[in-house]
Amino acid sequence: MAATTKGFVLYLLSGFSIAILSVLFINKNNYDIMNRSSNLLRSPVSSHTDRVWPELELNWRLVMATVIGFLGSACGTVGGVGGGGIFVPMLTLIVGFDTKSAAAISKCMIMGASASSVWYNLRVPHPAKEVPIIDYDLALLFQPTLMLGITVGVALSVVFPYWLITVLIIILFIGTSSRSFYRAIEMWKEETLLKNELTKAQGTVNSGGELLIDTEYEPLIPKEEKSELNDAVPCSTLYWALFCLQFPVSVLVFGYEAIKLYRDYKKRMSTGDTETICEASIQWSPLNIAFCALCGILGGTVGGLLGSGGGFILGPLLLEIGVIPQVASATATFVMLFSSSLSVVEFYLLKRFPIPYALYLMGVSILAGFWGQYFVRKLIAILRRASLIVFILSGVIFASALTMGVIGIEKSIGMIQKHEFMGFLDFCSSQ
């Protein structure tokens, strides 16, 4: 695993830890000033977020939400990040939902866009090999940890104060957008060199076509030859049973795939076979597998907490471990389909979104996911620049950092001025 990748994840973990620990300090000061109890889980009336659910009716707000939702879903699925960082500000500022309801609806939109994108990608060939463009080995490796993290993240979204969620958004989005943009520039330079070499070698390419760029996509690596939930009331026995059941299931599925990759890696190393097991070019050592598990849990937690989709971490991570952009986008979207579906179920059980609005915007996202994949793939085929996917990924994350960061800071300042409760909330009484 590259040192830069480990450094990036260390940055996220340290930033998140400092932000969360700062709640203790802020909460202590609030209680000292207001002479309150030191119980951090106390949830006064002012700490509750009123649910604001506008009616679904034809007006300028709905039109704007449709346009922004369509563009956000199209770009988000192409980049493999979902687009939740665009949906949440749109739903709060334009439509008028409260923040936590907006995060829940954004998950419904991500699920719809991911479903149509996966359906489209099932028909798309790999740009360099005769294998599916979706890497199912990587998907099966990250899926359990991502879904486990989302379960935790959804629960934390109810407990964490609004200002803390804002800080986490800024830390995550600025870090991932900067790293992705740097990665996109590197890929652009590699593509330029490859195109120049192909131009010079024109007319001397052998019959095997070893130097030819794929007719539809630009490969960045050498070609290889291998081929009753409705009754689950929040905090009820059934709810907590379903919540806890996910932990052993996730560990078992992840362990199965991790052992498989490790054994295949050891077998190939012993025979001197340097061919990669899956799209990732890393060595599947126990340390790197554990690192991938940590990233999956972190990405899922962030996705469930912010309603932004685990792709904000998974997409850049796949690029960092050597996956080409087309496969990284398709695989991240495939993983997000299941992880976002779990989030939708979680939010539905918590009664966090209105059904009519969620169904309408999900329909918009389904159309956007398909057409976004279609047009961007055609554009890549014309320009022969797979790095466009990474630029889109970086742009979506950066736009999310601006919109959600600015809105979050403004609202947090208002809460401070009103002397609202700034500590952790009680999970059950906050429903």
Output the CA torsion sign for 251, 252, 256, 259.
Answer: positive
pLDDT, position 224: 39
Model confidence at 267: pLDDT above 70: yes
**What is residue 125's three-state secondary structure?**
strand
**270-284 pLDDT tens trace:** 777 666 666 666 678
Model confidence at 56: pLDDT above 80: yes
Question: Using CB atoms within 10 A of its CB, is residue 58 exposed (0-12), middle (13-18) or buried (19+)?
Answer: exposed
Q: How many of the other CB atoms lie within 10 Å of CB of 194?
A: 16
Rounded-to-integer distance, Cα 384 and Cα 195, Å: 9
Rounded-to-integer distance, Cα 97 and Cα 54, Å: 7
Q: Give the confidence band of 63 by pLDDT, cuts at 50, 70, 90.
A: very high
Q: Give the confidence band of 361 by pLDDT, cuts at 50, 70, 90.
A: very high
pLDDT, position 280: 66
**Residue tagged 């554009």 (tokens):** 379
User: For the chain, what percent of residues have pLDDT higher than 70?
Assistant: 76
Closest CA to 223 of 240, 204, 209: 209
Rounded-to-integer distance, Cα 127 and Cα 381, Å: 10
**286-345 pLDDT tens trace:** 888 888 888 788 777 876 776 565 667 777 778 777 788 888 888 888 888 887 787 788
pLDDT, position 170: 81
pLDDT, position 27: 59
Residues 6 or more apart whose CB falls under 8 angstroms from that of 391 comprise 181, 184, 188
Rounded-to-integer distance, Cα 249 and Cα 255, Å: 10
CA distance between the termini of the chain: 41
pLDDT, position 400: 79
Q: Which residue has the higher pLDDT, 393 or 22?
A: 393
pLDDT, position 40: 39
pLDDT, position 32: 52
User: For the chain, what percent of residues have pLDDT higher than 90?
Assistant: 3
Q: How much is the average pLDDT of 201-208?
A: 49
pLDDT, position 360: 92
Q: Which token pair is 250?
A: 């996730």
Kindly report the CA angle at 230 between 228 and 233, in degrees rounded to 5?
115
E strands, 208-257, where? none
Q: Which token pair is 296?
A: 């999956």
Q: Phi then psi for 186, rounded to 5 degrees?
A: -60, -45
Closest CA to 239 of 154, 340, 167: 154
Model confidence at 23: pLDDT above 70: no
Distances, alpha carbon 140 to alpha carbons 167, 209, 266, 332, in Å = 31, 33, 19, 11
Instruction: Answer for the pair 36, 321: CB distance below 8 angstroms, yes or no.
Output: no
CA-based max dimension of the chain: 82
**374-426 pLDDT tens trace:** 888 888 888 878 788 888 888 888 887 788 778 778 877 887 788 776 666 66
Model confidence at 221: pLDDT above 60: no
Model confidence at 150: pLDDT above 60: yes
Output the CA torsion sign for 89, 94, 99, 105.
Answer: negative
Rounded-to-integer distance, Cα 96 and Cα 103, Å: 12
Residues 6 or more apart whose CB falls under 8 angstroms from that of 62 comprise 56, 95
Q: Which residue has the higher pLDDT, 1 or 190?
A: 190
Q: Give the confidence band of 431 by pLDDT, cuts at 50, 70, 90.
A: low
Kindly report the CA angle at 72 between 90 and 218, in degrees rounded to 5?
160
pLDDT, position 430: 54
Q: What is the mean pLDDT of the chain?
A: 75
**Weakest-pLDDT range from 105-109, 122-126, 227-231:** 227-231
Query: pTM of the entire structure?
Result: 0.69
DSSP label of 307? T
